């Protein structure tokens, strides 16, 4: 069974909320990891992020990311699948998400995001 | 008399802090206004931002911006002059500050930053 959670429409995505959301290192790391998985056409589940934080903390971070319009969450049974809303973000703020992802990649050494075991992702 | 406040070095500027700092609409508005004034080679003082917030709130926001490495603050007597640390930000995160400023400009209608009377700035 698949059910849907509330997501902001493209037009409802707000710049301060996006920046505020990514100002948290854990959420920034989650988004970088989802972006990497999207490029490899791999869809990640909530359980793939256990290295980032505890389960209830993760649920909070995923909700914040969804409410800011950064990720699309699909619920299938007890599993949640996440993908980056890249088209919507690019349409609202051209180049923004890519520039932030590149900045995070430049600082990978000091940000030290946990390594996830992502099937099909190097 | 001019005295100096503590500023992070270029290398100490951290991506999450920059994003978190700009996730606040008032601070985002202040940075957009300072960037506009810098382009017009006009240096703004704390008093130029009275339309943005109350005096003690502004002092808090300016401190946050300075501590995140977004602005350079120069104290002369009871006046503080602010400029964007564009070179440092561009060196640490190429293109980031410009992309954020452009995104904010695209959303000017909904962000509704107060208009400041900036000498020499259109």
As a whole number, mean pLDDT of residues A57-63 equals 95
Q: Is residue A118 part of a domain?
A: no
Q: Residue B103 and residue B106: Cα distance in Å, rounded?
A: 5
Instruction: Please name the member of A23, A99, A106 whose beta carbon is closest to the beta carbon of B16.
Output: A23
Q: Is residue A67 part of a domain?
A: yes
Position A122 scores a pLDDT of 47
SS (H, E, C) chain A: CEEECCCCCHHHCCHHHHHHHHCCHHHHHHHHHHHHHHHCCCCEEHHHHCCCCCHHHHHHHHHHHHHCCCEEEEEECCEEEEEECHHHHHHHCCCHHHHHHHHHHHCHHHHCCCCCCCCCCC
Establish if A121 touches chain B: CB-CB under 8 angstroms.
no
pLDDT in tens, A26-44: 999 999 999 999 888 888 9
Domain containing residue A67: 9-110
- Average pLDDT score, chain A: 91
Q: Is residue A3 part of a domain?
A: no
| Proportion of chain A above pLDDT 90, given as a percent | 71
Q: Residue A94 and residue B95: Cα distance in Å, rounded?
A: 12
> For residue A63, what are its two tokens?
């909700």
What are the φ and ψ backbone dihedral angles of A24, each rounded to 5 degrees? -90, 120
**Nearest chain A residue (CA) to B27:** A16
Q: Is residue A4 part of a domain?
A: no
> At A95, which CATH number?
1.10.10.10
Nearest-CA distance B100 → chain A (Å): 7
Nearest-CA distance A114 → chain B (Å): 16
In the numeric block, the tokens 């980056």 are attached to A84
In the A/B pair of chains, how many CB contacts fall below 8 A? 82
Q: Which residues of A touch B102 (CB under 8 A)?
A: 94-95
Residues of chain B with confidence (pLDDT) below 50 = 121-122
Q: Is residue A115 part of a domain?
A: no
Q: Is residue A121 part of a domain?
A: no
- Residue A81, pLDDT > 90, answer yes
Establish if B12 touches chain A: CB-CB under 8 angstroms.
no
Position B2 scores a pLDDT of 59
Q: Is residue B36 part of a domain?
A: yes
Q: Is residue A116 part of a domain?
A: no
CB distance A96 to B103 below 8 Å = yes
Structural domain count of chain A? 1
- Residue A73, pLDDT > 70, answer yes
Position A116 scores a pLDDT of 67
> For residue B23, what are its two tokens?
């996730």
Instruction: Please name the member of B20, B93, B103 whose beta carbon is closest to the beta carbon of A96.
Output: B103
B15 with A94: Cβ contact below 8 A: no
Residue A69 forms beta bridges with which residues? Answer: none
A99 with B95: Cβ contact below 8 A: yes
B14: DSSP letter: -
B99 with A93: Cβ contact below 8 A: yes
ipTM of the complex: 0.92
């Amino acid at each position: 069974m698949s059910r849907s959670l509330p997501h902001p429409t493209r037009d409802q995505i707000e710049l301060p909320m996006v920046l505020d959301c990514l100002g948290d290192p854990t959420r920034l790391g989650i988004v970088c990891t989802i972006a990497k998985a999207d490029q490899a056409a791999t869809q990640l589940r909530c359980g793939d992020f256990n290295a980032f934080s505890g389960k209830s903390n993760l649920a909070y971070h995923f909700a914040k990311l969804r409410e800011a319009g950064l990720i699309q969450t699909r619920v299938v049974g007890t599993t949640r699948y996440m993908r980056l809303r890249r088209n919507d973000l690019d349409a609202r703020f051209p180049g923004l998400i890519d520039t932030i992802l590149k900045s995070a990649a430049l600082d990978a050494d000091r940000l030290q995001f946990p390594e996830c075991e992502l099937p099909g992702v190097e």
